[in-house]
Structure 1
Amino acid sequence: MISTRHMVFMHVAELLSFSKASQVLFISQPAISKHIQLLEAQYQTKLFERKGLQIELTAAGQLLLSRLQTVKTIEQQTEFDISVLQDALQARGNLKLGASTTVALYILPKVMSAFNQQFQQIEISLLNRNSELVREALINKQINLGIIEENSKVPQIQYTPFITDKVIAVCSSNSKVLKKKIYTLQELIELPIALREVGSGTLAVLKRGLSKHKIKLSQLNVKVRLGGTEALKNFLLASDAVGFLPNISVQKELKSGELREIQIEGLKLKRQFFFIERKGEKAELNKVFIKMANSIYNY
């Protein structure tokens, strides 16, 4: 069990703020400072150093945070494993998920709902970021299981294939682009384009697909870049631009006729979703969640 003093340190270290940690923990700032002072006395070294108005972890502080995050993960896994031995339906634990936008909005809700119904004592949290930031959160031990849209082969991460989906070109049903049903790749370069932000799995898929035809993203007539699938979708609904979105994210709009798919001759975009975990860690809770997700999507 992690001591209160160490738990206070973890909050300050992760937030890099004594005042924010005080607000989160409902402890006065002087009390927070006292806990840190006692830890520094215990380890006989500074854990934080001030940089103007900011604080940063020292090398010792970084080491302590890393070790405590590992201990916390083991503690949570142990709580789940022991509770399962007693009664699987009353299993306890904390499942910290991270997912890219498409997964968080259109795939995970069904899985999380089913998981919550079966394991009602397990607390689930979800970090919604693009693929790049989810990988960082996993490596930094802010989450225990991630689901992202590309396999970038980061050495510290273990990848498990999940499901596949298409990325398609769409535009508003009122767009002037609809004067043609099929465009060539050379004609695509002239169309007004709206894209996702750098770090997006959807953007990475488009970049790889175009590169096979020796076309760079910089060659496209990009009018706007937007952070998030819903932001891009809403922009397309109100503009003449063409955007590339996951097929699963636009089913409702395609069915209602608000959006229309544009065919780009020779351009086929598919991407694989992966579960990601830190290498060397065997978490039974992750395994249970992955198994349920695969059963729901018939993988």
Structure 2
Amino acid sequence: MLSQAHEVFLEVAKQLSFTKAGQALFVSQSAVSKQVKALEEHYRTGLFERLGSSILLTPAGQRLYQKLLQAKQLQYELHQEMSALSPDFAPALHLVIGASTTISLYVLPPVVSAYLQRHPNRQLSLKNRNSDNILRALLAHEIELGIVEGIHKVSHVTYTPLLADDVVAVCAAGNPLGARTLEARDLLSIPLALREDGSGTLAVLEEALRHRGLKLAALPVRVRLGGTEALKNFVRVDSSLAFLPRQAVVKELASGELVEVKIKDMPMRRHFNFIQRKGTENNEPYRDFLLFTKHYYADRA
């Protein structure tokens, strides 16, 4: 087992912030500083270089960080092997996972519930950000497993397919657009409500427009909103056309609160993928969660 001081150091090294580490660990910043200071006294060297309001790992801190990451993996593997040999051995494990907004809100909740029922000794923290920021969090070691929309072509990241979903155009019930079938070029004259830059949903729309010879910049975008729920709430009371994941509007389409607007010859399909840093694909218990999620949706296909 890693000591508490080493666990605190790991979080500070991931976040490069004493404040953020304290928030993640639910302890005060002074408690974090005390643990790091104790380690620096133990190793008789500085682990962080203080640069005004920011910090960086020293060479000694970087070496300790890399070794502790290896130790964490060995600890996971030991727990797995001992659990297989001794059913009464069930150590608590805490997973930190990140997922884009649509996945966090509509794809993962039933999976997480089923997973935790099977593994009552595990805890899970889910970071909800857009796809670009989840990728950044993975590369910064803030999370060990992410689920994003599309593939971002980063060479040192592994992508594992999960499932696919459509992006659909929707408007409020009673909006005259609901009775029309549009051509792609009609979007040049229709007020639009869209997600923010970095959104996987927006990236799918941009790609579909490109195939039709159109650019997003040419469209009359009325508003940009961060988050699927904010966009749904806006389009319910506005005359704009919005583009949203089908999984996010299943209930609203079924109730008639929102109406799907067909657009000829402009399919918008996007794929959800797990992302991991290369070399960490077999890290437990994240590999176990990945396989559980894939099987969960494969059984419901």
Unaligned runs of 5+ in 2: none
Taking the aligned partners of 2:214 and 2:143, their CA distance within structure 1 comes to 36
- Offset, 1:123: 1.1
Matches within 5 A, 1:115-264: 115-178=115-178, 180-264=179-263
Q: Hey, what does 1:2 align to over in structure 2?
A: 2
1:160 aligned counterpart, secondary structure: strand
Larger deviation: 59-68 or 254-263?
Answer: 59-68
8 Å Cα contact 2:192/2:242 also seen in 1: yes
CA distance 1:16–1:181, change in 2 (3 Å): same
* Deviation for aligned residue 1:40: 6.4
CA deviation after TM superposition for structure 1 residue 81, in Å: 4.2
* % identity of equivalent residues: 39
1:287 aligns with 2:283: no
The TM-score, its normalising length taken from structure 1, stands at 0.87
1:258-284: CA deviations, max 9, x gaps?
A: 100111121100011111122112124
Q: Per the alignment, in what secondary structure is the counterpart of residue 283 of structure 1?
A: coil
How much does 1:229 deviate? 0.6
C-alpha distance in 1 between matches for 2:87 and 2:33: 38
Q: What whole-Å deviation, never above 9, does each CA across 1:78-128 have from its counterpart, x for those lacking one?
A: 434432442399574222211111111111111111111111111111111
Q: Judging changes above 3 Å, is the alpha-carbon distance between structure 1 residues 222 and 139 closer, same or farther for their aligned structure 2 residues?
A: same
- Structure 2 distance, partners of 1:253, 1:55, is 45
Aligned length in residues: 296
1:158-217 deviation per Cα after TM superposition (whole angstroms, max 9, x unaligned): 111111110000011132433x41111111111000111111111111111111112111
Quote the offset at 1:136 in angstroms. Answer: 1.5
Distance 1:95-1:38 versus aligned 2 partners, 3 A rule: closer
Per-residue deviation at 1:65? 3.7
Q: Distance in 1 between the 2:263 and 2:169 partners?
A: 8
CA drift at 1:19: 5.9
| Alignment-mate amino acid for residue 98 of structure 2 | G
SS in 2 for 1:110: helix
Q: Which residue does the alignment assign to 1:49? A: 50
Whether contact under 8 Å (2:187, 2:219) holds in the other structure is yes
- Structure 1 counterpart SS, 2:171: strand
Please give the alpha-carbon distance, in whole angstroms, between the structure 1 residues aligned to 2:189 and 2:208: 17
- Residues 99 and 127 in structure 2, CA contact (< 8 A), matched pair in contact too: yes
Q: Please state whether the residue corresponding to 2:142 is helix, strand or coil.
A: coil
Task: Flag structure 1 segments of 5+ consecutive residues without an equivalent.
Answer: none
Q: 1:20 to 1:195 in 2, by over 3 A?
A: closer
CA RMSD of aligned residues (A): 2.7
Q: How far apart in 2 are the matches of 1:199 and 1:243?
A: 17
Shift of 1:5: 3.4
- TM-score normalised by the chain length of structure 2: 0.87
> Is contact 1:167–1:246 with CA below 8 Å preserved after alignment?
yes
Amino acid aligned to 1:162: L
